[in-house]
Amino acid sequence: MPMKNYILRLIALIIVLVSPAQAKNQQPNILFVFSDDHAPHAIGAYNGWLKSVDPTPNIDRLARGGMLFEKSFCSNSICGPSRAVIMTGKHSHKNGFMNNGNSFDWTQQIFPKLLQKAGYQTAIYGKSHLKGRPQGFDDWAVLPGQGLYYNPDMIFPNGRKRINGYCTDVVTDLAVEWLTKKRKDGQPFMMMVQHKAPHRNWMPALRHLHLYDDIDIPEPATLFDQWEDNAPPARHQELEIDRHMDLNYDLFVDLTPDYNQPASQERQDRSAWHNMKRMSPAQLKKWRAAYAPKDAAFHKAKLSGKALVRWKFQRYAKNYLRCVKGVDESVGRLRATLKDLGLADNTIVIYSSDQGFYIGDHGWYDKRWMYEESLMMPFIVNWPGVTKPGSRDTHLIQNLDYAETFLDIAGAKIPADMQGSSLVPLLRGQNPKDWRTSIYYHYYEYPSVHMIPRHYGIRTERYKLMHFYQFGNEWELYDLQSDPDELQNLYGKKGTGKLAANLKKQLRDLQKHYEDDSDISEKPMEWRDKVRPGTAEKN
């Protein structure tokens, strides 16, 4: 063969080998299943105190087949902000979405747009909480705001529509329909399936209303924490099961005549009816039939004090875990669909949630704090042929790393202004020498529902230092090794000065590194509420 022909053939071969079609075949699909407020300790595979309840057989199976991240954290423990960090790979102060009240700037650089450029077909279904029309997705349907558990409205590219059914199932149906009918063969995909559950007000599917009826959910060790050693914010919060969880609004206890009341026209209706009125008569009938005998027993018992807290905890934890069950079934159904479609071997399945949650831990519900239960996020990755089955990674990771990871998986370039690191080396079982030794956190939503003041902090492998800066100069310091429940605040205690100074220096370095120049001047503010009666104000 003449030399010229040989070279031409060689060039043609190279073109075929590196053509987009060829490259695309090597790009795995990504199925990102993401729920709202699902704490890692409500996942069996995380081995927390709820493990004996066996809350998540499908998610546990996912973990057994892949890698579970034991030290996975958010950077701002609240819904919209956590999602904005995931979209952008940037801390809240950089992506502009610091509070749920903000609006997300969809025109900015986000990973789904970059994946589209890298050849991916993209879709998102469920709770976005970022407001506005999603950008970077070839197809989408999102819940308006928080969305509703029963017969929710959803916003589609061509308008808003009510869909009958239970929210977790409705969202899963849309995802399955996309995988089956709208996905293009021969093109890699990235789909985000984002459940509302198990967010407040915890409304299970009808088929789960009797789940856990015959057991007592174990109580957390800190259910009756009095926050004696904490700085003042822990005593001024508004997220206690005891004082702030409402029997009717949160727990659906029939407190007739309130039970059937129509929604108030003037303000948000704070009764259970606010959420129940969305049900069809048939759904409502089943719902009432399930709760009526339980409510009758409750009224008869006339509980008070600790016994009442214990009862509320049971009702709350059961409803929360029933909602979790719906999400777990969704994971099972999505994986079965992948298998049926022959996609299981080339699809990475990830399970995560926007932050952790208090399930009675420290006597609380909700999130927001930098304490472990709400700082942690579940993160489980099943990458066929790459993640070692049943492996558990212990590097410090954050939601800040997801965008970079997705881009790396796709073989796309990670923009220099993203602030996290790709987790791909960890997924391959490597131990990068220069991996971060601490994480940075900053929460901003105050004053707001639940009244958790702004704070920022650092968590290393062993220690956590937090600064509440709106009420003077309040710090907390914990040794997570000797005090995993964070009950002994070491800040200001004898012999801890050097440790605190060292952590403060590291914290300032992180703020410089991430360029957090938010206003953190200490402004003395007045507390809205009195401290809990009977709790001494120490500081």
Q: CB-wise, 37 or 474, nearer to Ca ion?
A: 37
Q: CB-wise, 200 or 436, nearer to ligand SGN?
A: 200
The one of ligand SGN, Ca ion, none whose footprint includes residue 322, by CB under 5 to 8 A per kind, is none
3-state secondary structure of 273: helix
Residue-wise DSSP of 350-402? EEEESS---SSGGGB-S--SSSHHHHB--EEEE-TTTSPTTEEE-S-EEGGGH
3-state secondary structure of 234: helix
199 binds ligand SGN (CB under 6 A): yes
The one of Ca ion, ligand SGN, none whose footprint includes residue 391, by CB under 5 to 8 A per kind, is none
- Total residues contacting ligand SGN by CB under 6 A comes to 13
For the record, the structure tokens of 326 come out as 């719906």
Q: What span, in angstroms and rounded, lies between the C-alpha atoms of 114 and 200?
A: 33
Binding range to Ca ion, per CB under 5 A, among 79-87, 180-188, 448-456, 463-471: 79-87
Q: Please, is 331 exposed, middle or buried when counting C-beta atoms within 10 Å of its C-beta (0-12, 13-18, 19+)?
A: buried
201 binds ligand SGN (CB under 6 A): yes
Q: What span, in angstroms and rounded, lies between the C-alpha atoms of 351 and 331?
A: 8
CB of 461 to ligand SGN, least distance (A): 28
Q: Could you say which residues in the range 311-340 bind ligand SGN, by CB under 6 A?
A: none
Q: Could you say which residues in the range 53-82 bind ligand SGN, by CB under 6 A?
A: 78-79
Binding range to Ca ion, per CB under 5 A, among 77-85, 99-107, 182-190, 424-432: 77-85
CB of 146 to ligand SGN, least distance (A): 6
Binding range to ligand SGN, per CB under 6 A, among 103-111, 195-203, 293-301, 407-415: 195-203
Q: Across-strand partners of 100?
A: none
Cβ contacts of 333 within 8 Å, gap of 6 or more: 172, 176
Structure letter (DSSP) for residue 240: B
CB count within 10 Å of CB 262 equals 10
The one of Ca ion, ligand SGN, none whose footprint includes residue 450, by CB under 5 to 8 A per kind, is ligand SGN
The one of ligand SGN, Ca ion, none whose footprint includes residue 100, by CB under 5 to 8 A per kind, is ligand SGN
Q: What span, in angstroms and rounded, lies between the C-alpha atoms of 249 and 247?
A: 6
- The distance between the two most distant Cα atoms of the chain, rounded to a whole number of Å, is 98
Rule CB under 6 A: choose which of 450, 454, 455, 464 binds ligand SGN.
450
Binding range to ligand SGN, per CB under 6 A, among 186-194, 197-205, 306-314, 333-341: 197-205
Q: How many residues does the chain have?
A: 539
Instruction: State which residue has the least CB distance to ligand SGN.
Output: 79
Q: Across-strand partners of 347?
A: 29
Rule CB under 5 A: choose which of 39, 68, 79, 118 binds Ca ion.
79
CB of 201 to ligand SGN, least distance (A): 5
CA-to-CA separations, 367 to 217, 231, 358, 429, in angstroms, rounded = 20, 17, 6, 31
CB of 450 to ligand SGN, least distance (A): 6
Tell me the CA end-to-end span of the chain in Å, nearest whole number: 89
354 binds Ca ion (CB under 5 A): yes
Cβ contacts of 216 within 8 Å, gap of 6 or more: 314
Q: Could you say which residues in the range 246-285 bind ligand SGN, by CB under 6 A?
A: none
Structure letter (DSSP) for residue 414: P
Binding mask 95-114 for ligand SGN (x = CB under 6 A): -----x--------------
Q: Could you say which residues in the range 18-47 bind Ca ion, by CB under 5 A?
A: 36-37
Binding range to ligand SGN, per CB under 6 A, among 198-206, 282-290, 384-392, 427-435: 198-206
Residue-wise DSSP of 299-351? HHH---HHHHHHHHHHHHHHHHHHHHHHHHHHHHHHHHHHHHTT-GGGEEEEE
Contact positions vs Ca ion (CB under 5 A): 36-37, 79, 354
Contact positions vs ligand SGN (CB under 6 A): 36-37, 78-79, 100, 129, 146, 199-201, 366, 449-450
